[in-house]
Amino acid sequence: MWGELYTPLDSKIDGIRSVQGKKIGVMKEDFNGWYFSELLKKFDITCEFVEMAGFEDIFKAVAANKVDAGIVNSTFGAAKQHEYGLRSTGTVFNPFEIFFAVAKGKNQEVLALLDAYLSKWQRETDSPYGKAQQKWSHSGIGTTKVTPPWLLNSIIALGGVIIIALAFIILLRRQIQRATADILQSKAVLLESEAKFRSYIDNSPDGIFVTNENGRCLEVNPATTTITGYSQEELLEMSIFDLIPPESLENAHHHLHALKEHHFASSEFEFFNKNGKRSWWSIDAVKLSATRYLGFTKDITNRRQTEEQLYQAMTAAEAANIAKSRFLANMSHEIRTPMNSMIGLIELMLRTELTREQREYADLIKLSGQNLVLLISDILDLAKIEAHKIELETRDFDLQTEITGTIKLFSLSAQEKGLTLGAQVDPDVPLLLQGDVRRLCQILNNILGNAIKFTANGSVLLHIRKETEDAEQTILRFLVTDTGIGIAADKLETIFEPFTQADNSTTRQYGGTGLGLTIANQLVGLMGGTVGVESVEGKGTTFWFTVVLAKQNPFLLPAPRPLGEKTMTASPRQEEDGGGNTRIPRILLAEDDPINQQMTKVFLTKSGYHVDVANNGRDVLKLLEEKDYSLVLMDCMMPTLSGHETTAIIRNPASAVRNHAIPVIALTANAMQEDRYNCLAAGMDDYLVKPIEVAKVLAVLEKWAPLNMSQEAETGRDGKFSPYTAAIFDKEEFIGRAMGDLELSRYVASVFVENSPEYVEAIRAALVAEDASALRQSAHKLKGAAATMALQQLSEIAALLEEFAGTGGMEKATDLLPELLKRYEQSVEALRELHMTSPEPASL
């Protein structure tokens, strides 16, 4: 049987090396004890052997801690270890052999007596042997001995069995001897491997330790003592949790729980060393058994400090970036506010009688102010691009309309220099597109502005052609070619870098910031395109860029107009007539700066508007409670109540203002994108950046409070709906959008008639549920669909519903429902009549 070493469950003895100096219980005159002592001598290990009567006595002594361990055979140990609360150390050794023999010098007289009796029986005929021989032998033959055949066969068979058995025993013994030798060799290798492993552990720079299931240390290596500052003896009396600060204990217990559940866990903890100094450890632990856990630890204090420094540096960098953005915004505000006054007053001055010299000086002042504003805008744009704060917007647009507007924008400056300015759009270029049209126009404006600036005579031409196209998007190439001064070959590579111009004298001669092309280059990249330049010095330059744009459904926008055709005609300014059907809009200007007040009031009054002025937010609310206004121009930074706060009160249905839905236009010197979002989020309808240019203000006023606005239509914004002057259905416009194809027009009309009831039903359901968000979405869908179908009255009512839903006017929206249903029925009836008429196709 195999011999095996057993110890108490909490014993630290786990192998041959750990029994040094221990008490070991063995059975008296037992081969296992003798062999184990011989094995220890080979490793120079000494211990005290205590002899006992039997295996039961050994296990009792070990359980009572009278001895440190005991040696019994494996069969007994496996059967009794749980009964006595013991465990095997896994240390087994050579099985002992059992020999069977008669002790030398004992029972010799018995053997001699047996030999004498056997000889006497053979000589005497009356002995049992002689009688048996006479009985079975033939008569007359005498005393001749004859062996019976059966006995002979039995002896032969028995001899064969004995020979086979002896051979088997010899073979088995040799196999046992060979196996014993192999086991001894394997144990020697194992002991050697254990010694190497122990050397690795002892010399490891990382801490290695073994704990029980409660975290108590059972074994630690020297590195662990170095990291903690405690001796090995001190650590073996401690739990790993004794080293962890109270605030980290919960995380440590969670780590141990994960280790028990998943057999492996990794984490980082803050620890105390013996001197109370805190340090960070990384711990990787594995589960060896239900009661034993192995941990590997490393001091990562330096790494954590580096990470903390990097985090602080990153935080500081982010704070610096925020501070830079805020500085730019504040700088913009502080410069734009006086510039607004200066440029506005210069524009008013230019409308008066001036001498030629005075007008020349005033023009120069206005131009300088505008250049300063452009410089601020360029710096802000570049800062936003570098900070990755520019987000592209996606909306539908008509490329032809935008190009027409861009050409018109530069037509005056081109005419003043005697230049030919033109645009060519290839026939295969799709016109109904989706993308950030504002940034696209900004790119074009920068490049066209440069071309006109650096061209003294000749022409500036914009050419647009298609690169590629699929079902969803297209890549367009824009080329701006001028006959200007050109760019030297050695300057072409750096022309798109910030503050770079072809010559140092360029700024003095032509002006500019040197940022326009840089911003254009960055914006083109954001739009998925590339930019380039080709130039011959003294002959001209071609700047080109590509952009990726999505395509629209061709029936979602008005039919394209020829390039150069007017897309909007200005409404004639009308004074209030005798019948009172039209009136001059009354504007409430909320502005605390007296210069800006005077300047803005003068040019609005001269433009045909009535203007009242409020110095702060409280004055605005008071005037809105007393009078009806068409629109509020709201400065965002006013004393008492800011523009945002004032607008929020106006939109609140509980406030006492007469019209909660009155258009509010923000006036701000902050040009950052987030400021625009803040204004719109506060409930403002539009946004103007100071310095305010007369043309821009008038364009916004024309949009929200046109001079020819009817009394009824304006009152309608307050929920009192009046009949529209527009037609219910503009057949000619609708058929024109279908390129004059009557059958296609009828098909699209049938699709609208089939699908539009769900829009109306969704509006009705939202009103019943008083769900403003759902109403806003449903009304928006109906507004767009009706506008596409040229159902003008239905689209306008849906727009009012959308507006009321966004401003909290649900009661007003509910009042409009009967009118909506009425206009919807009329619209559907008009579309049905389209199938029974044959109108002439719209002229293109």
> In which element (H, E) is residue 72 found?
strand 69-73
- Assess whether 544 and 406 both reside in one domain: yes
Cα distances (angstroms) measured from residue 295 to each of 218, 230, 256, 585, 677 = 11, 17, 11, 82, 55
pLDDT tens-place string over residues 267-288: 787 887 788 888 888 888 888 8
In 3-state terms, what secondary structure has residue 705? coil
In a domain, 308, yes or no: no
What is residue 569's predicted lDDT score, i.e. its pLDDT? 30
- 376: in domain: no
Together in a domain, 111 and 89? no
- pLDDT at position 620: 94
Whole-number Å distance between alpha carbons of 648 and 733: 39
Looking at residue 629, what is its pLDDT? Answer: 93
| The predicted structure's pLDDT at residue 189 | 75
Residue 571 covered by a domain: no
The domain boundary residue, chosen from 35, 70, 93 = 93
Residue type, 841: P
* Distances from the Cα of 195 to the Cα of 69, 191, 490, angstroms: 21, 6, 74
Q: How far is CA 393 from CA 439, 440, 667, 678, in A?
A: 9, 11, 22, 16
For the stretch 211-266, pLDDT in tens is: 888 888 888 888 888 888 888 888 888 888 888 888 878 888 887 888 888 778 88
The pLDDT assigned to 107 comes to: 56
Give the strands of the sheet with 610-614, arranged side by side. 610-614, 586-590, 631-635, 664-668, 686-689
Q: Give the pLDDT of residue 559.
A: 39
Q: Which residues contact 647 (CB under 8 A, 6 or more apart)?
A: 634, 664, 682, 683, 684
> Residue 197 falls within a domain, yes or no?
no
Environment class of 101 (CB within 10 Å of its CB; exposed 0-12, middle 13-18, buried 19+): exposed
Same domain flag for 681 and 739: no
Q: What pLDDT is stored for residue 326 in this prediction? A: 67
Q: Which residues pair with 633 in a beta bridge?
A: 589, 665
- Return the pLDDT at 840: 43
Predicted local distance difference test score (pLDDT) of residue 625: 93
What interhelical angle do 516-526 and 437-453 show, nearest 10?
Answer: 150
DSSP 463-511: EEEEEEE-SSEEEEEEEEEE-SS---GGGGGGTTSTT--SSTTHHHHH-
Residue 713: per-residue pLDDT: 40
- CA 183, 184, 188, 191 dihedral sign is positive
Distance CA 104, CA 100 (A): 12
Is residue 426 domain-shared with residue 471, that is, in the same domain?
Answer: yes
| Residue 542 and residue 647 in one domain | no
The verdict on residue 333 lying in a domain is no
Total structural domains within the chain: 6
HSE value, Cβ hemisphere, 13 Å, CA-based, for 583: 15
User: Strands 48-52 and 23-27: what pairing?
Assistant: parallel
The answer to whether residue 186 is domain-embedded is no
Q: What pLDDT does 534 receive? A: 92
- The full 3-state SS of 270-289, as one line of letters, equals EEECCCCCEEEEEEEEEEEE
* Average pLDDT per 10 consecutive residues for the chain, totaling 844 residues: 86 86 89 82 88 92 94 87 90 56 54 67 71 54 54 80 88 85 78 69 81 86 84 86 82 81 80 81 84 84 84 81 68 68 77 82 76 68 64 83 81 83 90 88 87 90 93 94 88 69 45 67 90 90 94 54 33 39 79 76 83 92 93 88 90 90 83 64 80 74 71 41 55 67 74 84 89 85 79 82 79 83 87 64 34
531 and 452, same domain (yes or no) = yes
Strand partners, 4: 72, 92
Question: 531 and 424, same structural domain?
Answer: yes
Please tell me the predicted confidence (pLDDT) of residue 728.
78
Task: Answer with the one of 682, 716, 750 that is the final residue of a domain.
Answer: 716
Of 656, 690, 716, the one marking the end of a domain is 716
Q: Residue 144: inside a domain, yes or no? A: no
The confidence score (pLDDT) of residue 159 equals 83
Ordered alpha helix ranges (H), 397-484: 399-416, 437-453
CA triple 734-737-740, angle to 5 deg: 90
Please check whether residues 532 and 463 belong to one and the same domain: yes
CATH code of residue 54? 3.40.190.10
Domain CATH number, residue 654: 3.40.50.2300
Virtual torsion, Cα 61, 66, 70, 75, nearest 10 deg: 20
The DSSP annotation for 713-732 comes to HHHHTTT-----SS-S--HH
| Domain range enclosing 635 | 586-716
Model pLDDT, residue 296: 85
Residue 843 lies in a domain: no
